[in-house]
Chain A
Amino acid sequence: MNDNALKGVMILPRKALQTLTEPMYYVLLALTKELYGTEIMNEVRRISAGRIKIGPGTLYTMLDKFYSAGIIKCTNKSLTTKSYIITEEGKRMLREEYARLSTLILDGDKIMEVLE
């Protein structure tokens, strides 16, 4: 590789939750309205037309992370089953991820047009 190509480029480790995985993205989409555990799983299935299935283990590991990072908040702590909703910080992340994915699509479109 040409050394000049690396000049001025600083490679930083990716921060946690900086780029959302596919299930994370869908869970945040689902949490734009207040939902509890099973409802979130069903909502993700609905939004993705059954393509994405999230099990309770995966979901609650994710919710723990989101909650600790302040991306979601709990709306009814007193009840046995808690429900959650996305926070302003979470919405910002979701928008950023949406923009990033859109850029990927646009960049891909340019190449795909040439291919086709």
Chain B
Amino acid sequence: MQRRCVLVEICPSQMRAALVVRGRVVASRSVGHWLPDWKESWPKGLVSLAPALRTMLSELGADGLPATIFYAAPHGAAGVYSCPASAGARGAESAARLALADASEFAPEANPTMIFRLAVDHGPRAEGAEGPQIHTLAATDSEAGVRAVTELGTECGLDVRAVAPADTVALASTVRAVLAASKGPGAAVALRIGSWGTVLAAAAGGRLRFVRQISVGTASLVSALTGEVRSTDGAPAPRALDRERAGSLLARSGIPARGSVFDAESGLGADAVLPLMQPVLQRWIVEVRQSLRFGLTEPERAGAHMVPMGPGSQVPNLARLIADQLGLTVAEPDSTPAGPPLGGGSIEDHAAGILGDAELLVPSERAEGRRLATIRRGMWIGIGAACALGAVDGVSAWFELAGARAQQERVKASLADAARVVDIGRSLGDREAAVRASRQKLVGWMSPRARWDALLAVLGRETPASIRLSRVEMRFEGRQPECSIRGHAAASPGSDATASLKSYMEGLSASPIVQKCTLGSARRMQDGDSGRTEFEVVITLVGLPADLDQAMAPLAENRR
């Protein structure tokens, strides 16, 4: 609740403004009026109330303060709707919405609506009674009506936060009172008598049994008193009572006893006014009796006591008359001085009981503005949270970076000492790799190698005297070492040249360094008396791998 706020109450007969500071009414102003065409002129007729409201607010010094306005809503609907507690809070809310839709003249979902969980039964279950129930206060009014009331307050300089039908206050305070009274022995019946209506509630054992609104109030009695008053002998009274005088007489004399004087000043006796009051009182009693008959069991009715509430409870003999007719005992009447229709419960009760908990009616634009504000606030909170998270992440990264750099510096410092060692290690790797690469390159170049010297030795050993070599060519054909030899074989006594050549080639082939020996060409020649065979033989040698260590060994020996 706001530290300083204003409560305004508007009804056809009166308007009241109260300044509330820290939940307590510190000052109030009220002005009476009579607007019989309240319903017909709604909501345009509200404009006529602006000057009086502005004056009251000015006197209270309440300009610009947050305000909540309670008003008699001629087209609105309000009620307390009960639902089994097993349905849960959402189920009870849905049930209340459905019931409200039935009770109102328009669709609540398209107009300002308030749903407020008023009470939940906690007491022991009575025999034959229903299980615990959730009692939901629901109210709605047309968008036009809510906007008109809000605009009235705004034009008068108030910061109107919410509005609510006055019935909601009456219902809420009655239910709370009857539940509080029912905790004692016996059933409790709360009768809140207002100017324009009555709220009847009954409870037993801490469980609310029913709540009902009756469209009879003290204004009905006042209206009745303004009718034609006849003297006891049936002759018309000198003059009829006006509404203001009738109201003040009712407040002072209440329901008079037969034979007593109702108005000593005019000499009006009880016998003259009681017939006027009788239909209203009769209706009151009948409505209450019927409600109690259907709402309470016989044993509960027998021990029930009535709690009179509201401004009507201050009318002398009124509550007692009703209680006596119903056979109920009467608890101490509400001690609150007679006030506006809200009265009975103090306006502090309203502030604490209604304003502190319930979401009241607000025009759709304002509701939308609130939703937007909520969304915007959530959005900025989200953005703020995102910024905060980003900042935390950034700071965390900054610290981690600083730590990593410090550790890097430490490792670098230790590496500086070990740099020479690392260089040696690298140098070793590089040198070994280079030597390996060099050896591979040399092996590639020098392989295969041929033992030409050994071939010469073989040729020297295997070549017989009958064979003379004219040319020897040793070379590589591709990567294959070959030797081409040319010569001639002379025929000798006992053997011909061909046999000598064959034998020669077999001898060459037997050498381990010779892979194969092929005859390239052979031609018999006549040389004087003797013949000879000229030939060309190709010897393919075994290719040997290069032996680098052998190549380097003599040099190493020389070094040594």
Whether A and B are associated in the same complex: the answer reads: no
